[in-house]
Structure 1
Amino acid sequence: MSQEELKRQAMEIISSHRTGILANVENNRPHARYMTFYNKDLNLYTPTKLDTEKTDEIEKNPAASVLLGYEDKGLSDRYIEVSGTSRINQSQTLKEEFWDDSFTKWFTGPDDPNYVFLEIEPAIIRILNNEGGPPQEFQVF
């Protein structure tokens, strides 16, 4: 399968799944949690508070992995695994673009200085459980 076809499939999976698992490193151990994801050109963005352990973990070790997809009994769902580097993104443009009124549980609005995004820049994306075939992998440049 061509790299372009793999990228198209990855974008399809990312675009149709908002909830996934973010794993990063805490005290030299994996730490995974469910998060809500948004995407732009394969980069993933998840809202969080600036003053959380996630931001501390990422500052110490930016390695991150995200799983998206795999929602129906797990028998035939395609899903992706994104391995990459994470960083804190405080872009006001992103904060306004992805703002959702449900965020008022945690933030006063898109101008809240504690409202930030973790940005995951993928290095490798794997598509798994794709019609029973073996995992397909491509590098993102």
Structure 2
Amino acid sequence: MSDQVLKDKIINIISNHKIGILSSVENNKPHSRYMSFYNQDLTLFTPTKKDTEKINEIEKTPFVSVLLGYEEKGLNDAYVEILGTTFLQETQALKDQFWEESFTKWFEGPNDPNYVLLEIKPETIRILNLNGEPPQEISFEN
């Protein structure tokens, strides 16, 4: 499979599955939680509060893993595993772009200083369970 075909399949999965698992590192151990994800091409963004333990974790160790796509419909559900580096993103344009009214449960609005995004730049993406094919992988230099 060509890199472009693989990339298109990955973008299709991450664009159509907004809930996934973010794993960071806490005290040298994995710490996982469900998050909402948005994407621009292969870069992921997830909203969070600035004063959460996630922020402390990524400041110490910025490497994360994300799982997106599995829907429990069977062994053939394609999903992606993304290994990447995370950055705190406070750009107002991005905060406005990804803002949803459902966020008002946690934030006063898109200008709330506690509303930030984690930006995840992929280093390696694996697509699994794609029509019974073996896992496919694409790597990037950041």
Alignment correspondent of 1:82:
82
Mapped to 2, the partners of 1:92 and 1:39 lie a distance apart of 16
Question: Shift in Å at residue 123 of structure 1?
Answer: 0.5
Alignment correspondent of 1:42:
42
Alignment correspondent of 1:57:
57
Mapped to 2, the partners of 1:135 and 1:75 lie a distance apart of 13
Which residue type is aligned with residue 138 of structure 1? Answer: I
Per mean C-alpha deviation after superposition, the further-off stretch among 58-67 and 70-79 is: 70-79
Mapped to 2, the partners of 1:94 and 1:74 lie a distance apart of 35
**TM-score of the two chains, using structure 1 as the length reference:** 0.98
Question: Shift in Å at residue 64 of structure 1?
Answer: 0.4
User: What SS does the aligned partner of 2:108 have?
Assistant: coil
User: What SS does the aligned partner of 2:124 have?
Assistant: strand
The runs of 5 or more residues in structure 1 that have no matched partner are: none
Mapped to 1, the partners of 2:79 and 2:134 lie a distance apart of 12
Question: Shift in Å at residue 93 of structure 1?
Answer: 0.5
Question: Shift in Å at residue 73 of structure 1?
Answer: 2.9
User: What SS does the aligned partner of 2:73 have?
Assistant: coil
Mapped to 2, the partners of 1:48 and 1:110 lie a distance apart of 12
Mapped to 1, the partners of 2:12 and 2:115 lie a distance apart of 28
Mapped to 2, the partners of 1:97 and 1:136 lie a distance apart of 31
Q: Deviations over 1:11-50 (max 9, x none)?
A: 0001110000000100100001000000002100000000
User: What SS does the aligned partner of 1:113 have?
Assistant: coil
Alignment correspondent of 1:137:
137
Quote the sequence identity (%): 61
Mapped to 2, the partners of 1:31 and 1:100 lie a distance apart of 26
Question: Shift in Å at residue 5 of structure 1?
Answer: 0.7
1:96 corresponds to 2:93: no
User: What SS does the aligned partner of 2:118 have?
Assistant: strand
Mapped to 2, the partners of 1:58 and 1:74 lie a distance apart of 33
User: What SS does the aligned partner of 1:8 have?
Assistant: helix
Mapped to 1, the partners of 2:110 and 2:74 lie a distance apart of 36
**TM-score of the two chains, using structure 2 as the length reference:** 0.97
Alignment correspondent of 1:128:
128
Q: Deviations over 1:48-93 (max 9, x none)?
A: 0000000000000000010000103332100000001011100100
The runs of 5 or more residues in structure 2 that have no matched partner are: none
